[in-house]
Structure 1
Amino acid sequence: MTSGRSIRFKISALLVIPLVSLVGLWGFAAGTTSGDALNLLKIDTLWRGAIDHADTLVSALQQERLASAEKVAGNQSDPAALAASRARTDKARKTFTEQASSEDTVAALSPDMARQLKETLTAVGELADARRLVDGGSATPAELIAAYGEISDSVHRLYAAFALGTDLQLYQQARGLIGADQVRELLNREHALIVAAAGAPSEADRQLLARLDGARSYQYPRAMADLEPASRVPFQKVDTTVLDRMVTGYLAGGKNDVELWRGVAEPVIKGYDEAVWKNGDALLARMEPAGYAIILRAVAAGVLGLVAVIFSIIVSVRVGRRITRELATLRRGALELAELRLPELVGRLRKGESVDLVAEAPPVAVQAGSTSEVVDLAAAFDSVQSTAIDAAVEQARLRQGIAEALRNLARRSQSLVQRQLKLLDEMQSQTEEPEALERLFRLDHLTTRMRRHAEGLVLLSGGTAGRRWRSTIPVEDVLSGAAAQVEEYTRVRVYPMPECGVAGAAVADLMHLFAELMENGAAFSSPGNEVSVRGELVGRGFAVEIEDRGLGMPEEARQAVNERLARPQEFDPSQTERLGFAVVGMLAARHGAVVTLKPSPYGGTTAIVLLPTSLIEPLPTVADAPPELESVSVSVVRTTETGLPRRTRTTTKNTELPRRTRQANLPQRGKQEQADERVRQEQTEERSPEETRALLSSLQSGWQRGRQDSEKDGGSES
């Protein structure tokens, strides 16, 4: 299952991302709302700790500036008035500095507020420079207004910084109030400028007055626009008509009557002072309840938002777990179907077993009330299962039909081949011409190979060999019989080996197995090289080595064949390559034999067949031989013309029971060497036609008697 991430991880990620976003939005909203509410509560501390005292300081500065203007104009009738004004300013400045620097005020300040407060305190500290300018006697009205105006402007910037902490509605009211206070400050500056200029204003004084009056005219409607209608009333009650007309006259070059100006300006300034203070108290009274209301709304919104987040988390987790369980159940069912039930069911169908499809192939299990898509997916798996089972059933029927057809054809071929062999035996017994006997012998050998191939087809199609032996057969006879079924039998040499026998029930299969390996060795080696067959008893049974001296096999091909021989599978008709190895693996697995291929020292391939101990039996002794009418002694020699074993037999009188002496059918090494030497000597001499005919007649008789002996020992062919 490769990758990737599990479905649980993906579903969790799918649910966690929106939940985290929701929690983040809730935290941001709650934090913002709570911050605004806390800022409103801090405004009370800031107002009482800084704004109130700053306003007192501004009022004191306005009075000191007016007294300083009278001194600059030279109309100061009471010198003590300036000293008293400065004393009030110093007191207000001290109070403002102490309260603005207190712990409560500093704790309520934001970074922007703290920075602006520091700037204001610095400007207040420069008041001494303005006083020295006034006391020096060289200050002009414009310089006087500028020196004191820097402090007032800094205080108004502090007001604006403090107003940022309120909500939108209150911030608008605070901005309107700050604008109205700036109008009051501009009006006080005009008053001080006209007083300082006395009756002879300079051109610079007139220009400054024009700028101040223009700024006042511009600021007043903007401030009124930000204030609520009720907050505008105190300002609208202040009548500035006469004052504005007098300022216009002064700007036009009219005479400056200071006393008349005082009588008009001071009531207007007083009205502005009262309007600003009244609106300031009203705004402060609204801020604290508004802060508590916002806090209540923030708490309610936060609690409800938290409940919604928790509910979303619970629902998401439950839905995610349910979907995960549904998919996990479907996954387990699909894996069980794909890896266990379906392969096992298909395997049983291939073997031809009877299967209850309803019980063996139930639908893929899903949880009750599962998601419709999961149910649809399970139904799709059920459809796939049904299709696969139908295909497997059809394939099993087809394979079974093909196997039965092949077996029937092979059985018929076996029957025809057996009849052909009997007919050849009759023809050989009735023929004495050497050339005809030789051709009949070749035809006999070809027919024997046809019988082996037909038998291989029976085995591959699931059948068993028709031939059976009841008694124990010597291993060397089994190997010699196998060599006789190979096309190039003259190149196969069976070396002497220990005396032991093979159980009769396994003789036909083992003979076929050895014949396939021998023919494979002869087919893949040079025509001049022999295929050596040796055998010996080992600790786990009897080992037979079939060695050729050909080109050998590639390492990968040899490993593939060894794996196929170690774990033989059901024969697949579509794989037509190396059918001999398929037959070998099938026969070896049937009798518990182990077949292994390895490289030969001569460059070819050596096939090692390990017969288990259960197949190896001792040869019967003389006392164990069954009674017969005559005693038959059978020996085997290898003819020079064909290389096949030739049986010769001698018969004694009928008064003795038949005897089979040990090693009578397995010549000793010395006898074999003497026989080979005699054969080589005979090859050097030229035979006459009569000798050749006699030799072939002897060969024919040997084959006939060999088949008769085989039938007497229990062999039957079908």
Structure 2
Amino acid sequence: MASGRSIRFKIATLLVTPLISLVALWGFAASTTSGEAMNLLKVETIWSDVINNSDALVAELQNERLASAEQIAGTAADPSALANARAKVDRIRKILTVSATGERAQSVLNADMKSQLQEVFAAVERLPEIRHKVDARRLTPATLIEEYASIAESIHLLYSRLSVSTDVRLALQAQGLITADETRELLSREHALIVATDGKASMRDLHLLAGLDATRTHLFPKALANFDTELRFPFEKLAYSSRYVTMENLLEGYIDGQPIDVDLWRGVADPVLQELTKGIGSTGTKLLARMEPAGTAILLRAGVAGALGLIAVVVSVVVSIRVGRRITRELAALRRTALDLAEIRLPDVVTKLRRGESVDIAAEAPPIEVGRNATSEVADLAAAFDSVQHTAVDAAVEQARLRHGVAEALRNLARRSQSLLQRQLRLLDEMQHQTEDPEALEHLFKLDHLTTRMRRHAEGLVLLSGGSAGRRWRGAIPVEDVLNGAAAQVEEYTRVRVYPMPECGVSGAAVADLMHLFAELIENATQFSAPSNEVSVRGEMVGRGFAVEIEDRGLGMTDEMRDSINARLASPPEFDPAQTERLGFAVAGMLAARHGVTITLKPSPYGGTTAIVLVPGTLVEPMAPEPQPLEFEPVTVSVLHTEHTGPGMLPRRVRTSKRDAPALNEGEGLPRRERQTGLPQRLKQAPPPQSPAEERSPEEARALLSSLQSGWQRGRQDSDQDGGSRP
């Protein structure tokens, strides 16, 4: 069963998460609105302690700059005017420092406001240096304007930081007031520049004047656009006055290169600056009066909204809990039914179908029951589960029928092939018996070998389709003979070497299956190794049975592939006809599971793969070695050797008589053993180079093949007597 959180937990999480978000959003909105409202109520402190004093400082700095311009131009009528202007600036600077750094102002300023306020103080601290340059006459009209402008710009930047209203209308009007103050600063710079040049401006001064005038002309309409009718009135009155129009005409002509009367200019510009300063002050007072009630109204709205929001949150929590419990109960019931279907009913149906039992679909897939008042979606989901389980059971039944039909068809076809191949083998025996031509016998032998392999493949198809091997033997058969018979069923059987092993027998009921199992493993070893390499087969008794090692010297396998094949051999899955790769391993795994045989693949020291087959002790029977009587007569010697009776058949031990036996050792009555006597012809060592072998005559070759034919015929007869092969 899949692990994870319960349905109740997930439903609760699904409901609690938006509720928590709603509560957090409500708290954030309430705190933000209340905080903004409190900020609006603190505007009076900021205005009185910071804004008013800084605005007064800007106005006095403009007067000091004008007096400094007269000092540079040498047109000062009152020698004490500059000293008086500086004294007023120093006085208002002290007032600003005390009020802005006081506890009341600092408590309402945020970190950004405090940082910009320190920038203003740093700019004001440069006043002694600027004044020293003025007194030493080291400033030009343009540099004079730039030195004083740095202080005003830092103060205007402070104004933008002091904006505390989130009301769009009030924020726009506050921005308009800041823009209007910047316009006054630009006009003051133009006034001081004209006075400092005494009407004889250089090209640089004219360029600076033109830039200041263009900026002011651009900002002034933007400032008016942010005001409502009441706040805009004093500025519009000034813009349409005769003094303002005359001032604009004088500026335009001076910038165009016409001479200007400085006295006339001062008579027009001074009143305009005074009216502009007065309008900015009155507009600021009106705007401050609007902000305080706005803060109160926002606080009131925040309180009402907070209360209503809290009620809505409580109602949402109650409703969510009730709905969540109901959905949880319905889903829990549906979950129990689905788990019962997936873990009990469907597996039982599949198990019965595999055993061939009949299945009642109506009884195995009853409808899922939900309450009458169940949620419509849950009811629809239950109906969908009903449809799914009926479809799943129907599909399982149909699949079982289809698999059974396919297996039966394959088994019948394989049985027919086995019958035909067995008849073909008997016909080949007859043809071999009647043929004495060596070349024809060789072809018949190859055809016999191919037919034997075809019979093994047909037998593998029977096994994969759920049948059993048709061949049976009575009594125990030596393991070495079983391995030789398996090697004879492989295409490249000449590369397979079965080494001598202990005399042990295999139960006759398991001989056919084990021979097929060994043949599949040996053929796999020959296919995945070089044609010049030997495939070695060794066997020995071990504590839990008889172990057989089949070793090739091929390229081997990767660790992942070897682990995968070992897992399939240890617990072979049900055969899937769609998977046609490695059918030999599928057959071997099936046969191994049938008889309790263990197959393990491991790397070979030669780089290839070694298959270790452990035949359990219940299938192994010890066999006494056959007696080998020794004839003491010098005429003949009886010896035992193994004769291969043909592809696919068990080899048999026969006794032959050798005439003209070798001479006995001196003083002993036993015959002397000749080197390599009794080994198969292909395993004997070649004769020394100095004595090349003589070619056989046609008569000798015919006699040799005739003897092989006789051996195959006797082997087939013995096999038929021991059970034979049946389709």
What is the TM-score when the length of structure 2 is the normalising length?
0.52
Identity rate of aligned residues, in percent? Answer: 68
Residue 484 of structure 2 contacts residue 650 of structure 2 at CA under 8 Å; is this kept in 1? yes
Q: CA RMSD in A?
A: 4.2
Q: Which residue of 2 aligns with 1:472?
A: 476
Q: Which residue of 2 aligns with 1:520?
A: 524
5 Å matches for 1:58-457? Answer: 317-350=321-354, 352-366=356-370, 369-457=373-461
Residue 649 of structure 2 contacts residue 715 of structure 2 at CA under 8 Å; is this kept in 1? no
Which residue among 688, 695, 706 is the counterpart of 2:704?
695
Deviation at 1:699, TM superposition (A): 1.0
The yes-or-no answer on 1:710 pairing with 2:719 is yes
C-alpha distance in structure 2 between counterparts of 1:683 and 1:348, whole Å: 71
5 Å matches for 1:477-516? Answer: 477-516=481-520
C-alpha distance in structure 1 between counterparts of 2:401 and 2:7, whole Å: 41
Residue 489 of structure 1 contacts residue 643 of structure 1 at CA under 8 Å; is this kept in 2? no
Moved more, 470-479 or 13-22: 13-22
- What is the identity, as a one-letter code, of the residue corresponding to 2:594? R
Unaligned runs of 5+ in 1: 30-301, 624-631, 653-666
The yes-or-no answer on 1:535 pairing with 2:539 is yes
C-alpha distance in structure 2 between counterparts of 1:549 and 1:481, whole Å: 22
- What is the identity, as a one-letter code, of the residue corresponding to 1:636? T
Q: Which residue of 1 aligns with 2:695?
A: 686
Deviation at 1:421, TM superposition (A): 0.6
Residue 481 of structure 2 contacts residue 650 of structure 2 at CA under 8 Å; is this kept in 1? no
C-alpha distance in structure 2 between counterparts of 1:578 and 1:445, whole Å: 23
- Partner secondary structure for residue 470 of structure 1: coil
Deviation at 1:691, TM superposition (A): 1.3
- What is the identity, as a one-letter code, of the residue corresponding to 2:698? P
Distance change >3 Å, CA 491–CA 567, structure 1 → 2: same
C-alpha distance in structure 2 between counterparts of 1:642 and 1:456, whole Å: 17
- What is the identity, as a one-letter code, of the residue corresponding to 2:583? L
Residue 468 of structure 1 contacts residue 714 of structure 1 at CA under 8 Å; is this kept in 2? yes
Deviation at 1:559, TM superposition (A): 1.7
Distance change >3 Å, CA 312–CA 526, structure 1 → 2: closer
- Partner secondary structure for residue 330 of structure 1: helix
Unaligned runs of 5+ in 2: 31-306, 628-637, 658-672
5 Å matches for 1:558-569? Answer: 558-569=562-573
Deviations 1:186-216 (A, max 9, x none): xxxxxxxxxxxxxxxxxxxxxxxxxxxxxxx
C-alpha distance in structure 1 between counterparts of 2:622 and 2:540, whole Å: 14
Q: Which residue of 1 aligns with 2:48?
A: none
Q: Compare CA radii of gyration and give the structure with the larger one.
A: 1
What is the TM-score when the length of structure 1 is the normalising length?
0.52
Residue 646 of structure 1 contacts residue 703 of structure 1 at CA under 8 Å; is this kept in 2? no
Residue 410 of structure 2 contacts residue 462 of structure 2 at CA under 8 Å; is this kept in 1? yes
Deviation at 1:644, TM superposition (A): 9.9
Deviation at 1:506, TM superposition (A): 0.5
- What is the identity, as a one-letter code, of the residue corresponding to 2:15? L
Deviation at 1:348, TM superposition (A): 4.0
- What is the identity, as a one-letter code, of the residue corresponding to 1:523? Q
Deviation at 1:15, TM superposition (A): 6.0
Distance change >3 Å, CA 496–CA 313, structure 1 → 2: same
- What is the identity, as a one-letter code, of the residue corresponding to 1:489? Y
Deviations 1:7-61 (A, max 9, x none): 5343455268669979999xx99xxxxxxxxxxxxxxxxxxxxxxxxxxxxxxxx
- Partner secondary structure for residue 417 of structure 2: helix
Deviations 1:582-626 (A, max 9, x none): 111111111111111111111111111111111111226889xxx
Which residue among 634, 642, 646 is the counterpart of 1:636?
642
C-alpha distance in structure 1 between counterparts of 2:369 and 2:565, whole Å: 42
Distance change >3 Å, CA 646–CA 407, structure 1 → 2: closer
C-alpha distance in structure 2 between counterparts of 1:378 and 1:12, whole Å: 23
Deviation at 1:711, TM superposition (A): 2.3
Deviation at 1:309, TM superposition (A): 9.9
Residue 471 of structure 1 contacts residue 714 of structure 1 at CA under 8 Å; is this kept in 2? no
- What is the identity, as a one-letter code, of the residue corresponding to 2:329? R
Deviation at 1:314, TM superposition (A): 6.6
- Partner secondary structure for residue 684 of structure 1: coil
- Partner secondary structure for residue 493 of structure 1: strand
- Partner secondary structure for residue 462 of structure 2: helix
Deviation at 1:457, TM superposition (A): 0.7
- What is the identity, as a one-letter code, of the residue corresponding to 1:687? R
Deviations 1:210-242 (A, max 9, x none): xxxxxxxxxxxxxxxxxxxxxxxxxxxxxxxxx
- Partner secondary structure for residue 601 of structure 2: strand
Residue 23 of structure 1 contacts residue 309 of structure 1 at CA under 8 Å; is this kept in 2? no
